[in-house]
């Protein structure tokens, strides 16, 4: 990634702050609508990313959708992303302990709830689906301890600083990707949940697993941590519902496997299971996933 000039960093940051202040000053419904409009505008301006989304949709669904439907879904993806960005700032103003139930429906299985109540460490996995910021917000309101999560650094340190401050208020301790393992292992020692996003290309260090029947480099760390430390994996998604800033927080335990004695094979099995589970959600609600990601750009190792 090329380093940005200071002038460009400050210019981007100024625009970011102006947009944030305007959104927070607007009525809720208008602000979310403005976010959707900005997302729609982005689909017209950042055409390469829009074309990426359309291509990924067509490759994944193959004969199940035609070009027109792929374009319609891609447009809704951008609008959803704009709404998600707006809601991240609006949540600070509108969502608190008294209003939480007005905006978010909490839906956890009994198994997941027992894990939450245990006060012990577990792996929490999520994806850029629905409103992924809300998923973290829900967890931190119901867990007795903070969540440690890995993040990828942004190319604008000023915007990154502001976003981390917002997320820190929700009880999330973010660790940069390059220091991720140290932060995660420390979190496990302190009995904290460890958050990992599982839907981005993992590069050459990823594990080869299928998603929509296509091999892709997949993050294997949830399976590795689960097996090495005998801790469960919980899937967390915040599904967007009809209405203004309405979501359903879904939490369930990823089914365990019978150990074979071959750790490498067990890691592959768990990782593939995770992809299969997430694929079912994406097939049902394709407009809620961030198809802009180049999920299949490089296969992982065997």
* Model pLDDT for residues 254-292, shown as the tens digit of each residue: 998 888 989 999 999 999 999 999 999 999 999 999 999
Arithmetic mean of pLDDT over the chain = 89
Q: pTM for this one?
A: 0.90
d(CA 183, CA 179): 6
d(CA 101, CA 1): 41
Q: Which residues are paired to 104 by β-bridges?
A: 247
**What would the mean pLDDT of 165-172 be, rounded to a whole number?**
73
Strands, DSSP E only, in the chain?
104-108, 123-126, 147-151, 172-176, 194-197, 207-211, 214-218, 233-240, 247-253
Among 132, 34, 80, 44, which residue's Cα sits nearest to residue 286?
80
Direct distance between the N- and C-terminal alpha carbons of the chain, in angstroms, rounded to an integer: 27
**What would the mean pLDDT of 182-194 be, rounded to a whole number?**
89
Over residues 33-85, the pLDDT tens digits come to 999 999 999 999 999 999 999 999 999 999 999 999 999 999 999 999 999 98
d(CA 147, CA 272): 25
């Amino acid at each position: 990634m090329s380093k940005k000039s200071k002038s460009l960093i400050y210019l981007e940051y100024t625009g970011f702050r102006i947009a944030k202040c305007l959104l927070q000053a607007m009525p809720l419904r208008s602000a979310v609508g403005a976010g959707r409009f900005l997302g729609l505008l982005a689909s017209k301006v950042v055409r390469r990313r829009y074309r990426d989304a359309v291509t990924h949709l067509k490759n994944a669904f193959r004969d199940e959708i035609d070009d027109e439907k792929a374009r319609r879904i891609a447009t809704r993806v951008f609008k959803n992303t704009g709404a998600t960005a707006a809601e991240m700032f609006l949540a600070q103003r509108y969502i608190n302990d008294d209003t939480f139930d007005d905006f978010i429906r909490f839906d956890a299985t009994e198994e997941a709830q027992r894990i939450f109540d245990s006060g012990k460490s577990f792996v929490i996995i999520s994806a850029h689906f629905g409103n992924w910021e809300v998923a973290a917000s829900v967890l931190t309101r119901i867990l007795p301890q903070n969540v440690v999560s890995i993040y990828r650094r942004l190319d604008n340190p000023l915007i990154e600083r502001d976003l981390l401050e917002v997320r820190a208020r929700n009880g999330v301790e973010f660790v940069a990707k390059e220091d991720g393992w140290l932060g995660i292992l420390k979190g496990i020692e302190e009995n904290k949940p460890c958050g990992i996003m599982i839907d981005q290309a993992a590069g050459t260090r990823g594990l080869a697993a299928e998603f929509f029947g296509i091999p892709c480099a997949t993050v294997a760390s949830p399976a590795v941590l689960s097996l090495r430390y005998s801790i469960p994996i919980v899937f967390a998604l915040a599904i967007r519902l009809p209405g203004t800033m309405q979501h359903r927080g879904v939490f369930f335990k990823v089914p365990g496997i019978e150990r074979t004695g071959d750790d490498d094979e067990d890691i592959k099995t768990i990782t593939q299971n995770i992809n299969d589970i997430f694929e079912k959600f994406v097939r049902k609600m394709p407009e809620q996933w961030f198809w802009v990601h180049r999920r299949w750009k490089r296969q992982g190792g065997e």
